[in-house]
Amino acid sequence: MPALYRWSEGDVEGEPRRIGLPVADRATNSLRFHVWYPGCETELDAYDIPKPKGTDPFHPQLLVVPCLGFGPGGARLGYGGGFFDRTLRALNPRPVTVGVSFTHGFLPFLRSAPDDLPLDAMLTEDGVMWQRP
């Protein structure tokens, strides 16, 4: 929460930064993003995951992507649904993607499939592991 508060204190080209949560769309098996703020009322999405209630959709500039594991060059081991890959292919411009995982989630032999989109950076409890140029 402190990082989210700090993030929201900044601005981009004079506009305040917004925080959002992904909302799963069962029809497209992809995600859309809605504004979220501390204390925001929520309701359940198509997969019974809490989502912001009655807030505006928006196009994120930065996505924090959960990872079960990660490998060299931006390879990501996700949760198996393909939601983030489908969503990233559809977003234009593509947001910066920062994976979050534990350091012990590094899998040196993990390689991305041809249709996987690599992450731009990886963040673990030890700090930033790598950033793509």
pTM: 0.84
Residues in the chain: 133
Q: Which of 58, 91, 106 is the C-terminal boundary of a domain?
A: 58
CA distance readout (Å), 97 to 44, 64, 105, 121: 25, 6, 17, 7
Q: Please indicate, yes or no, whether residues 69 and 121 belong to a single structural domain of this protein.
A: yes
Domain holding 87, by residue range, is 60-133
Give the pLDDT of the chain (133 residues) as one tens digit per residue.
787 778 788 887 887 888 999 998 888 888 999 999 888 999 998 889 899 999 999 999 899 999 999 999 899 998 878 888 888 888 999 999 999 999 999 999 999 888 888 999 999 999 988 776 5
Q: Please indicate, yes or no, whether residues 114 and 87 belong to a single structural domain of this protein.
A: yes
